[in-house]
Structure 1
Amino acid sequence: MKTEWLRKEGSDELLLFFNGWGMDGRIARHLLDVSLREGVDEDFNADMLVCYDYRNLEPEVGFMDDVSRYTEITVIAWSFGVWAAQQIMLPPIKRALALNGTLYPVDERKGIPPGVFQATLASYSEENRNRFNRRMCGSSEAFVCFSAMASARDTAEQKEELERLNGHFQSRSQPSTPEWQYSHAIIGGRDLVFPAEQQYAAWRGVPQTIIGDMAHFPFFHFSTLQELLACFRK
């Protein structure tokens, strides 16, 4: 797993952002930049660390030392990052938000149907990468906006990560039982990657925010950190 500090100013609070498959730090940086422009400093003073690239689930050297010094940690995780966050040894978590993902990443009832996942893995290419991203965004207009913050990683590396994730899923077929649990789940009604019905089933008993017209990519509906963190108060 790779990490990138987006904000490290000596706060006692840390926001850990677990990005989705194939991504890098750009989406999280865009989210933070927009938040800062809109005055997030007035009510959000946490440091921010983004995690991505789950080819190897071992954190980088020094990760635990860095994050263990914080007295309050919030996790925000999107897509496969929801699952990945619970595979990593973390200090005590105050609260955690799942965005369009589940702890059963490839599952007929609570995740991506296995046939769909395997077809994506088998056919992933430069051409199909663009098709997948359009499907993830939900419209051509949203895809154009997403392209400005899309991952700079190449297609071959993304496919390798998906292959490695496939191996991780098979070797860790049962959800882990970490000391922390997700506090809230946000579900997009138009998610074509993690179908909404599967997300409902996966998060039964967990407080949910359901956004009927939201596609798999959630950061047009939630464009700032304060909008995401407000979900904990619902």
Structure 2
Amino acid sequence: MATPDVQYLSSGDTALTVQFGTVIERELNSRIVALGHSIAQAAIAGVSETLPTYRSLLVNYDPLVVTRDELVAQLQPLIESPPEAGDAAPAHWQIPVCFDSDLAPDLAHVAAASGLDENEVIKAMLEVTHHVYMLGFAPGQPYMGDLPPALNIPRRENPVARVEKGSVVTATSLTIIYAVPNPTGWHVVGRTPVEIFNLAREEAILFKPGDKVRLSRIERDEFDELTAQVDDGSFDMTRLRQP
């Protein structure tokens, strides 16, 4: 396999950014995620952590153990020979979301801006298999894509000071599920009762980069019931994982 046109960019003296391109697209991001898996399998001496983003992989390393040039030399064959799909197969998730107006205060605006009605916006979000490009901004918070072109709308002109955890927000054809309460400049179009980040769990962070996520619509009574289960610890997280 030919080596992709990558750039190796120094990020200080203890990190290297491996940049694969300049656009946000699934194929490019999948190569980045695959490289992260390959580095973990190779157990390169001196490498402590990798962090995937939309279009690059940050590799943290100890320059007293491995130099920058030595690291690049060890990364190149991993880029040329990515792992088999089965070695880094993404998890598939089904996340319940309620779209009632008090949980989706910006749904009407998104509908008007996109030229769709509210049910068409919801339908579009439910039909997409969302690709988790990266986690960031807050612990375990996924940046996911890609929505249809009609939903490629800009962020809010005026950010709001707080949205609740579990809020499903969208802008620029992307979707985020908020891991914790936070301010946002994105449009709030729903909320899930699922905690995507919880330090009390063995796996505190639900998603990983490269995972696939489908949203399913639930009514308010089910949302309230599932919220109560999450709060008392009886919610079965395994029901979210799909074959």
TM-score scaled by length of structure 2 = 0.24
Higher relative contact order (CA 8 A, sep 6+): 1
TM-score scaled by length of structure 1 = 0.25
Q: Radius of gyration: which is bigger? A: 2
